Structure 1
Amino acid sequence: MTAQNLLDRVTVDPTICAGKPSIRGTRIYIAIILDALAEGLTPEQIIDHYPSLTIEDIRAAVAYAAELARENIWKVS
């Protein structure tokens, strides 16, 4: 699956999740997935908590975060 295919799984719509990035069709925020990964949960453990997610959805969240990092709009000092 290409990076663009993964990013197509992400939606940012002001009428869904108050415009926060989420996985299309799930209302699960990208931030929730990234926080879970940062806490050390495996993709399989995240899917256990959110059965509507797939491995590709987890990868899409990481791809979305990578895209934001490439844009370099926020710097940690």
Structure 2
Amino acid sequence: MSLLKRITTDPEVCHGAACIAGTRIPVSVILDNLAAGSSREEILKNYPSLSPADIDATLAYAALLAKEEHLAL
């Protein structure tokens, strides 16, 4: 999936958390914003280094993680 090329992990950046490539913006920050009800437009305004494709990549990454592990809620 080409979108996932936008997600990187590096132990030297954000303690190895998954981030948007070329930024120090963790995937979890984008997901937290979406979960809190922020629109794509609000996120892009608040994080001008992001593109719409970065949000798509974040959702694709989260979808893959959700398929890998089942959590008892």
TM-score, shorter chain, exceeding 0.5: yes
Name the SS for the 1:28 alignment partner.
coil
Q: What is the CA–CA distance in structure 2 between the aligned matches of 1:35 and 1:76, rounded to whole Å?
A: 20
Give 2:36's aligned amino acid: E
**Distance (Å, rounded) in 2 between the aligned partners of 1:36 and 1:76:** 23
Q: Which residue of 2 aligns with 1:76?
A: 72
Once the two structures are TM-superposed, the CA of residue 76 in structure 1 deviates from its matched residue by 2.7
Matched, 1:45 2:42: yes
1:1-77 equivalences under 5 Å are 4-72=1-69, 74-77=70-73
Give 1:16 deviation, angstroms: 1.2
The residue type equivalent to 1:27 in the other structure is R
Q: Tell me the TM-score normalized by structure 2.
A: 0.94
The share of aligned pairs that are identical, in percent, is 48
Structure 1: gaps spanning 5 or more residues = none
Q: Render the CA deviation track for 1:44-77: whole Å, top value 9, x for unaligned.
A: 11010000000000011111100101111x4133
Letter paired with 1:50: Y
Unaligned runs of 5+ in 2: none
**Root-mean-square deviation over aligned CA pairs:** 0.9
| TM-score normalised by length of structure 1 | 0.89
